[in-house]
Amino acid sequence: MPVNSFTQTYQRGYVLDENALQQVPVGSSQEQVLLVLGTPSTVATLSGEAFYYISQKTQQTAFMRPEVIDQRVLVVYFSPDRRVTRIANYGLQDGKVFDFISRSTIAGGSDISLVGNILRNVGNINPFGAGN
């Protein structure tokens, strides 16, 4: 869809600053992650603790329904002693969950199922807010 003066782009949720990721390398404390990245969208403890930062970018032309053009889930994984073990930036590529940091498609698992559910529900946005 061509972008014109009637098209607007909206960013919702967490806005990733690439420089911020460099400030929380593997081994960083959970407190450092909170100071640099802020409060996560959600926290999970499926196989160890993980912080999830969820973002969505949409475009809307005139009065048409907004279209999701990108959705990402940044996940920071922690060890039992609350140190960063891994960071992933998940999105959908060719319909599969893809980690844009490791540049790889991710196989199954309970964590990936959760991320996949978040990413695949992108069509369920309501431009007028909940309850309308």
At 111-125, the pLDDT tens digits run 667 777 777 665 454
Residue 1 lies in a domain: no
Domain residues for the domain of 35 are 7-123
Decide if 132 is inside a domain.
no
109 vs 16 pLDDT, higher one: 16
pLDDT at 87 over 90: yes
* H helical segments located in the chain: 18-22, 30-37, 110-120
pLDDT of residue 31: 95
Residue 57 located in a structural domain:
yes
CA 109 to chain centre: 18
Q: Which residue has the higher pLDDT, 124 or 20?
A: 20
Phi, psi of 93 (to 5 degrees): -135, 120
Percentage of the chain lying above the pLDDT 70 cut: 77
Answer whether residue 130 is part of any domain: no
Q: 29 in a domain, yes or no?
A: yes
Instruction: Report the number of distinct structural domains present in the chain.
Output: 1
Residue 44 lies in a domain: yes
What distance in Å separates the CA atoms of residue 1 and residue 47, rounded to the nearest whole number?
A: 41
Residue 121's pLDDT is what? 67
